[in-house]
Every structure is written in structure tokens, then in C-alpha cells.
Structure 1
Amino acid sequence: MSKIELNDKKIQILEVAEKLFSEKGFEGTSIRDISKEAKINIAMVSYYFGSKDRLLESLIIYKTSDLKLQLENLLQENLEPLDKVNKLIEIYLNRISCNKGIFRVLHFELNSKKREKSLNAFTELKKGNLKSVESIIQQGQSKGVFRKDIIIPLITPTIIGTFFHFHMNKPFFEELLHLKTEEMYDEYIKTYLTKHIQQTIKALLVYEN
């Protein structure tokens, strides 16, 4: 299932499912919980999605397929290689920051063997996204700007891993960095954390002077 046809009711169910999966975990949430919270008949939820696993699969595609489109568009932009990588990092962090719920669900569910089938769609999306990242870095390599010995599949985990460590330790960093409101926290991610990750990736990609 690469694309899902969505109507308002389906979107409402997916938004509620994301909230509940994020709060209670996938196993701790039932179709009944979702239908009750969404105020939609349980039979309708089953009709639209069939099973909870299929609902998770639809949710993953709904929340992550626009990232694929943004990366493919970035690939076509007429930018210098490093500017393109910096924009790539901004796109990734913005998508994760706006979709913390689904990424928290994925973080826990990816380790579950039982979820493997539902997560096939996500694996395929990640492979496509990696191809876009590879192309952007290869553009820089062909121009002699980026090193030839980069381990490209480790670039994305470096970006996302730094973000997640920061986010998973939110209370610690809020206190340490005096981020007293949610707005200050989000602003810090957009500015300082993004810049730090861009500098880290630049150090990995660019030849030392």
C-alpha cells in the first residue's frame, strides 16, 4: 500500500490513533479505544482499516510520505551541495518535530518482531529516502566538495539520533538550557540544535582544510 485515499473521517481516526498509540503504546490501545475517542462507530473503524496493524501501516504512510516528496523536490533544486545538505537536515528535523507522536510510536514498534509486516511500508519509504540522501551526497562528491569515504547510510541516523537524544531527555535539557516554555523548546530545536547538527554533518562530509 503506497498511497491511501483519505477522507475526513479516516484522517480523524488516524489523528486519534497517533495520539493514543503515542500515549498508551500500540499494544495498550484497542480499536474500541480509538473509536470511542474519535466518536466514530467501531464497525466504521474496522471497515476503513480492517485491523489495528493495517491502521498503523496507514498512519505511518499518512505521516511520512510527504517527507519523501520534500526530499525528491530538494534533489532537483539548484543549490550548492552543502546548502542542499543543510536544507535536508532542516526538512528532517521539521518533519520529526511536527510529528513527534508517530516517531515515538515507530521508535518503540520498530523493535517489535510482531510489527514487522506493518512496518514494511515504512522500511520501503526509508529506502526511498536514503536514495535521495545518497543522490544529494553523490552530487557533492562528483563536484569534489564532499569526501569519498563517507558511510552514507549512517548520515540519517546521525541527524535523527541527535534529535531523539535531545527529545528523549527533554526535562533535562529544558532545565539545563533554561527553556521555560514549549515555544522556547521548539525554537531551540529550530535554531541551535539544527545548526549544531548541520555543523556535525558538515564535519563528516567536507574535506578538512
Structure 2
Amino acid sequence: MSKEDKKEHILDTAEKVFAEFGYEGASTRFLASQAGVNMAMINYYFGSKDGLLQAVLQRRIVSMRNLLEEVKGMLLPAGEKLMRALEVYVNRISTNNCFHRIIHREISLNQRSELSDKISDNVFMNVQTFRDIIREGVQNGAFRKVDVEMTVANIMGTIYYIINSRAVSARLLNIDFQQPEVMETEVRPRIKKFLHDYLQAYLTNHDLQKQ
């Protein structure tokens, strides 16, 4: 295994461990044992457990941000741009669920720290993309005037609740999350369709349609 492959393997393992046990519940020794490496190697690549968690988060958040910024910069109608951003976001969150469980776990804690602030700052940059797209649509008349921030909260709340509150959402949607294909075949398409239909109904500027 090359040096880069080994580093990626440690990051993949750490992502799963942090998602299951949280930052405080995952010791460096345990992380090393799960990755099949010694603690010195983790320190060599990442400096500390804190550095490892930051590397795990940075890897996912930055790639997500790049994709969303690419969509935001497209010369498309606001409605189509919003749907493309949703496609990226839902696909990423449903595919990398371990990572998003880490984020939810860490920013849900009431403790303020440099780490939680960094996580919140990075997550907000991605959320802000949706706010900017909806604001753009409101300003150019493609969308009706709405509470933009609450609309974004509604979008994020729907996605995160269904994907992260599985014990309840499984019963609500009558699905079995234990089936490996259920996220791709049932949950992800259903989230996308609902948000598409909801946002189309909620944001459509009917005055524009009458012209």
C-alpha cells in the first residue's frame, strides 16, 4: 500500500469510528487498531486525533463546497440551479452518511470549541450556497418573496431528519434501512421528489406565470 493509499485508508477508518463513537469516544489507540496501524503513524500523518478529525471533515466538506459553488456559478434559471444543488447535496449526504453523522454529532453538542466552530463555519458555507441561489431567484422574480432563511432550514431539516433519524424515519416511511439498497432505490429518490415538488409549489412566482 502506497503512502497516499495508507493515509486514505486511515481517513476512511477514522470516519466510520468517529461517526459511531464520537470524537470523545474514539481514542487514538482504538483508531489505530481499527485502521491496522500504530499510533505513531497517525501522529506522523495528522499530528494528533484532533488533526485526524479535521482532515476527515476537510476532505468531505471542501469537495462538497466545490461542487455546490460550481452549480451556483452556472448560467441557469434559479429553479434549475436550485434543483441541481439539491441533487448534489442529497447524493453526497446519503452516500457519505458516516461523515454527516460526525458533523451532526459534533455541532449538536452545546460545548463551544475551536473544532466545533471550524465545523460550523465550513457547514455554513455549504448551506449559504442554497441561501444565495434562492435569494437570487427572489431578486430576479423567478421565485416569489419568501423567508429565504426558513426555506433553507426546511430543506436541510428534511434531508437531515430522514437520513439521520433512521429509527423514526424508517417507521414513518415504512422502509427498512438494514437493506443495503434501500437508500439508493427508495430514500434518496423520495427525498428528491418531495423537495422538488415542495419547492416548486412554494417558490413559484404565480404573478410571473400570468404575464
Could you say which TM-score interval applies, normalised by the shorter chain?
Answer: 0.7 to 0.9
Counterpart residue identity of residue 186, structure 1: E
Deviation of the 1:88 alpha carbon = 1.3
Aligned-residue RMSD, C-alpha: 2.4
Counterpart residue identity of residue 128, structure 1: M
Do the aligned partners of 1:74 and 1:84 also contact (CA within 8 Å) in 2? yes
Could you say which residue in structure 1 is the equivalent of 2:166?
170
Deviation of the 1:177 alpha carbon = 4.7
Could you say which residue in structure 1 is the equivalent of 2:36?
39
More helix per residue: 1 or 2? 2
Could you say which residue in structure 2 is the equivalent of 1:3?
none
Do the aligned partners of 1:68 and 1:128 also contact (CA within 8 Å) in 2? yes
Could you say which residue in structure 2 is the equivalent of 1:161?
157
Deviation of the 1:95 alpha carbon = 1.0
Q: Would you identify which runs of 4 or more consecutive aligned residues in structure 1 move more than 6 Å?
A: none
Do the aligned partners of 1:174 and 1:185 also contact (CA within 8 Å) in 2? no
Do the aligned partners of 1:85 and 1:136 also contact (CA within 8 Å) in 2? yes
Cα separation, 1, equivalents of 2:203 and 2:110 = 34
Change (3 A) 1:126 1:164: closer
Deviation of the 1:157 alpha carbon = 2.9
Change (3 A) 1:174 1:110: closer
Change (3 A) 1:127 1:36: same
Do the aligned partners of 1:150 and 1:204 also contact (CA within 8 Å) in 2? no
Counterpart residue identity of residue 153, structure 2: P
Residue ranges of structure 2 left out of the alignment (5+ in a row): none
Residue ranges of structure 1 left out of the alignment (5+ in a row): 1-5
Deviation of the 1:194 alpha carbon = 1.1
The correspondence of residues 20-39 of structure 1 with structure 2, limited to 5 A, is 20-39=17-36
Is the aligned partner of 1:187 residue 2:185?
A: yes
Cα separation, 1, equivalents of 2:164 and 2:127 = 24
Change (3 A) 1:133 1:177: closer
Deviation of the 1:29 alpha carbon = 0.9
TM-score (norm: length of structure 2):
0.83
TM-score (norm: length of structure 1):
0.84
Deviation of the 1:173 alpha carbon = 4.6
Do the aligned partners of 2:134 and 2:148 also contact (CA within 8 Å) in 1? no
The correspondence of residues 72-111 of structure 1 with structure 2, limited to 5 A, is 72-111=69-108
**Bigger shift: residues 161-170 or 40-49:** 161-170
Identity %: 30
| Selected match of 1:132 from 117, 129, 133 | 129
| Selected match of 1:198 from 172, 196, 199 | 196
Change (3 A) 1:191 1:18: same
Change (3 A) 1:194 1:118: same
How many residues are matched? Answer: 203
**Bigger shift: residues 166-175 or 118-127:** 166-175
